[in-house]
Structure 1
């Protein structure tokens, strides 16, 4: 194991995809690395409960945000997304150990943890800040005004979509009060640069570098083929009105489902919180794209 400087952190939270086969042994291995680096270790409460690991303290995510100064997330991007949404308000740095398939944001391979993790803990890392989306649903009240009935945060995307058996929906979209268009489609994605390589990419949207201050607005299977994805500044507000269609819904990173009615208004803007990722030294976004999207196939 390489010689490293003293640990930059004091108290680490360990969070795992506890449904994964063999995850306990992986978590034990990571915990031992953290302890050898001089950190106090606490497990996220559900991780501890479902793995039977009782040698460490157990904290809920809110307690982790208040008591720990770094979080190590073992799993796939879904596990990281769920954790990051809850810990963003605490400005806590996150380290992702990849036990999933793609691993765009959980980018330390498990096979490398004995070399990469001690180096990161000692301060040899690339720190990256990612923007988050803040979304809400407003509904008309009896006085003719709008009141907020649902709010949430997303790292990848806010999605407005039709019901499972319904026909396409019609959505009126404004950017900072300026009318853009009416979409008749299966749905509409508002994705961050982080989310541009997720559902948005599958729906035909472009990949945005995380350093770009913008959102990508992507219609899903639009009725009008000239309704194409558009990149807009993330400094303003996107407003989506439900004009027509049954059983429409809204969700955040495929979580937090909210049912929508005709006349409901969805607003999306940049959250005041950001996500802090710690990557191994030398990490860069383009290498991640080449590796995960297999852009380097056939390259000598």
Structure 2
């Protein structure tokens, strides 16, 4: 009887010595447990740095993404977003180990790697499904010219700093408002603590399925952040009178130029992103910890017996 090979993808930010050291610990633990570490084939620097410890294989060359059990990510949120791209066509959940600053998507900090690896080997973790976005760009005649997806946000921005872009927002096939602006952020609950947060948008709990729409520096009386339902269709059209072009960014990683008349349509993706969780905890605690929010003076939860609503 043969045992199925366990393939664990290891994605690391190769340009920091402490990250390389942590990745070596992860690979060593996986190898000792009989699992096979897999490295991204598009990063020769990290392959060269880590190949000294064990015979390693690469994703897309030696191992198909469909055969990846789990992706372990060492880095910040940007590295986790890269890992989400790598496993997009598979089902592997992502376990983030924070080697950056905030690391909001990361599950654990680097000082508990050894315990985390024991949990990984035992498959002792839960999987949390996170909503993603499907993004299409249409030209002025209405033909689809670009398709992609986003975990955090899709952003329509002006391409030239000195120019403003003119847009019209449409929700579920109905026009909402038209104005000049620097751009529009369309974010998931996961992305609500990223660009959306910096732009003044609302923080949305991951258990709330919704889409945030946040104008950037809009010249309009009504240009407030919006929260729409998860099945809503949000369209941003770059009006033909715009002086110059715009640009679409998805998760800050994938971009496409938007000529005047282009239309960006954003909907919920049929495929979610899966995050591995070792320590399920209230999202409130994560906000407090990651943003170092002041909670001095809190007296604890109300222990008074709940009364029935009238």
TM-score relative to the length of structure 2: 0.86
Is the Cα contact below 8 Å between 1:61 and 1:87 reproduced in 2?
no
Deviates more, 1:111-120 or 1:91-100: 111-120
Q: Distance in 1 between matches of 2:120 and 2:282?
A: 15
Q: Distance in 2 between matches of 1:36 and 1:21?
A: 23
Deviations 1:183-240 (A, max 9, x none): 3211000000011001111111000111111100000111124310000012131111
Kindly state the Cα deviation for residue 299 of structure 1 after the two structures are TM-superposed: 5.2
Which SS does the other structure have where 2:260 is aligned?
coil
| CA pair 48-261 structure 1, distance change in 2 beyond 3 A | closer
1:47 positional shift = 4.5
Q: Structure 1 stretches (4+) deviating beyond 6 angstroms?
A: none
2:206 aligned with 1:207, yes or no?
Answer: no
Structure 1 Cα separation of the partners of residues 133 and 109 of structure 2: 28
Distance 2:5 2:274 in 1: 15
2: CA distance, partners of 1:88 / 1:185: 32
Counterpart of 2:34 in 1: which secondary structure?
Answer: coil
Deviation of 1:41 (Å)? 1.6
Larger mean CA deviation between 175-184 and 63-72 belongs to: 63-72
2:175 equivalent to 1:176: no
Supply the RMSD in Å over aligned alpha carbons. 2.1
What whole-Å deviation, never above 9, does each CA across 1:3-33 have from its counterpart, x for those lacking one?
xxxxx99221111111223432211111122
Deviates more, 1:49-58 or 1:92-101: 49-58
Contact 1:167 1:246 in 2 (8 A): yes
Partner of 1:105: 105
Contact kept, 8 Å, 1:120 with 1:279, in 2: the verdict is no
2:252 counterpart residue number = 254
Deviation at residue 121 of structure 1 after TM alignment = 3.6
Deviation of residue 179 (structure 1)?
Answer: 1.4
Partner of 1:134: 134
Residues 14, 45 of structure 2: 8 Å contact kept: no
SS at match of 1:289: helix
Higher relative strand content: 1
Equivalent of residue 52 in structure 1, options 17, 42, 49: 49
Distance apart, 1:283 and its partner CA = 3.1
Q: CA deviation at 1:295?
A: 1.8
2-structure distance, mates of 1:280, 1:225: 45
Q: Between Structure 1 and Structure 2, whose CA radius of gyration is higher?
A: 2
Deviations 1:126-149 (A, max 9, x none): 321101111111113xxxx31111
| Unpaired runs of at least 5, structure 2 | 299-310
Residues 85 and 153 in structure 1, CA contact (< 8 A), matched pair in contact too: no
Change (3 A) 1:61 1:170: farther
Alignment of 1:133-172 (within 5 A): 133-140=133-140, 145-172=141-168
Q: TM-score, normalised on structure 1?
A: 0.89
In 2, Cα distance between equivalents of 1:299 and 1:111: 29
Query: CA deviation digits over 1:230-255, x for unaligned, max 9?
Result: 00012131111111242311110112
**2 CA distance for matches of 1:160 and 1:45?**
31
Q: Is the 8 A contact 1:139 1:263 kept in 2?
A: yes
Q: Give the 3-state SS of the residue equivalent to 2:272 in structure 1.
A: strand
In the alignment, what sits opposite 2:304?
none
SS in 1 for 2:189: coil
- The verdict on how the C-alpha distance between 1:198 and 1:112 changes in structure 2, with shifts beyond 3 A counting, is same
